[in-house]
Chain A
Amino acid sequence: MNLADSKKKLALAGLGCGLVAACLAFFGNPANMAFCIACFVRDMAGSLGMHQAEAVQYARPEIVGLVCGSFLIAVVTKEYRSVAGSSPLIRFVLGMIIMIGSLVFLGCPLRMVIRMSAGDLNAWVALIGFILGVATGAFALKQGFSLGRSHETNAASGAVLPAILAGILILAVCTALLKASEAGPGSMHAPILLSLAGGLIFGALAQKSRMCFAGSIRDVILMKNFDLLTVILGLFAVMLVYNVALGKFTLGFDTPGVIAHSEFLWNILGMYAVGFAAVLAGGCPLRQLILAGQGSSDAAITVLGLFFGAALCHNLGLAASGTALNPETKELVAGAVPVNGKVACVICILVCFVIAFTNKRKVRK
């Protein structure tokens, strides 16, 4: 069966991904972080000792599952193509920018949608920034932005990232080498096998449906095509039902326990950077993992940029803090973006503009 030849089937793929996310949230993943690419990559970076934020260190099997699920389905359906060579270091920088923007907002586009489905109005505010960022990227595409084409390379090259991530999972399960949080978001997780299975299923569905949060809005802007948006709406619908049914739907700002903040400007600018950089890189963080799984070393380099960006965010104090209740005084402590994070976010946006308008399509004649 072709999973993706009609809008109904695309919506079904989105529903499937939503079910996976809801299931993982139910079985232990942090509230409203059921399946966040930025948060989970940040946790993996922590588990490898790339940063020392003790609350966010855990080798997330979901990330391994996503990449390996995409890899396996691509091999089985003969869509695996090992390609590389499209401005790798610019893609690395774009990966860093996506992560810094995500940790200023506190979530990738996938988590933004999951937070929206839980009634978090900060995520709806951030959506404005994300749409504007994607629109700016689409404008750059119309002006001839290009990172150049990729080329076929050795088949093994495209399998390196899936192999590395599988190795990390084996280390996490079989040794005590990797760091694991004892408190905080990193300590909250579904059982390993369930997380891995969820990642594999999500990865396979995302690969077949071409799911992409930035791409869905880009397609609406450039072609008035709503196919990819259908997948996202399917996921949103399942998470909305899950949150309402389990009493986890709370409409409002400043919701303690959600790991979010209410600095509107920085929610908007953080996701603006993410949307802009994602269009330039050819896909949102989820799509980068999926493309890396199906053989793109360029996307794998972007994923490495995500890891590096996550380490920078916590080593240099760029990541925002979430609104929380003080356990002793029971007072609400507002989450905030640190000054370093604000400066970094502005620099990221400026760098996006430089990349967008200095890399043009080359004409041979």
Chain B
Amino acid sequence: MFRLEARTSTPAWFNLALPLIAIGVTLVLCSGLIAVAGAGVIEAYGVMLSASLGDSYAITETLVRAAPMIFTGLAVAIAFRAKFWNIGAEGQLLAGAVASCFVGAIPMPGYLAMLLMALAGAAAGALVALLPATLRVKFKVDDVVSSLLLNSVIYYALMALIEGPWKDTFSGYPISPPIEDSANFPVLIEGTRLHLGVVVALIAAPLCWFLIARTTLGFRIRVTGENPEAARYGGINVQRVLLSTALLSGALAGLAGVGEVGGVHFQVMSDISPGYGYSGIVVAMLARLNPLGVVPAAIFLAAVMTGAEAMSRATGVPAFLSDVIQGTALLAMLVALLFTAYRIRRVGAQT
């Protein structure tokens, strides 16, 4: 007979092994759908891989797509570390996009514009995240539901703007006017879309890791998440830590929106984010809430997304496979995480 037994510690190799196992299980499960669609599993995954990571141009495209998910992944990872359940990265991203687009449309020297766009976007995201955290701290309102519902509020606010006063008079479509050309983030490799924001995202991850692992605030965030009672006993102002975490998390999610405006779309439209805020949750869980793990996790999801489009063209398997992979990967990872809390132990027959 087998039984689950609580673990006291987890071996270090788990951090790498669990996401890989989860991704492996996901790809095996999803190969069933490829087969149902009448394509060869190896061929379909092969096209996916080569179209997303097979050559240097493909790699830049994947990185461009990974950037917003690195930011939302970091936002979720840091929030979840403090057990601030920020499900609102999507709305914070949108708020960041709107704020940075407003700023970017003001004529000023390019680098100043980019800096102010980043600041405005981060501030907007932080403010949006502050609301559920404040409600939780002051009124004990469940942050899961309030942060989730705020996504819809921000989305409709964005729609009201781009279908109303902020509608681009030139094109007549429900999109915002574009930002100034000088505010467009510089492209780093000619002939690709690899923009400055991608590098900022890649730098942000180790910075966040340093913050969490090596600073006092990071220590407070970790203790607050792991044991709020002990944190309080140790003289940590838990409420303040939660609010700081929310500001930081929201700012990071806001930066995801900044990158999309400054480096990819140069304006705001209703579908500026295909759910990058929710993908951030998948990324953070695959990374086991470690900021350094966020980068490979985001690149994996981005590769699946870019690869799925090429796979669809080559094999006819609908590109929506990437959405299924995302959901399955999250669920598989959650199950895999059980092995960090429990182990399966064989026990003798009991009566």
A binds B: no
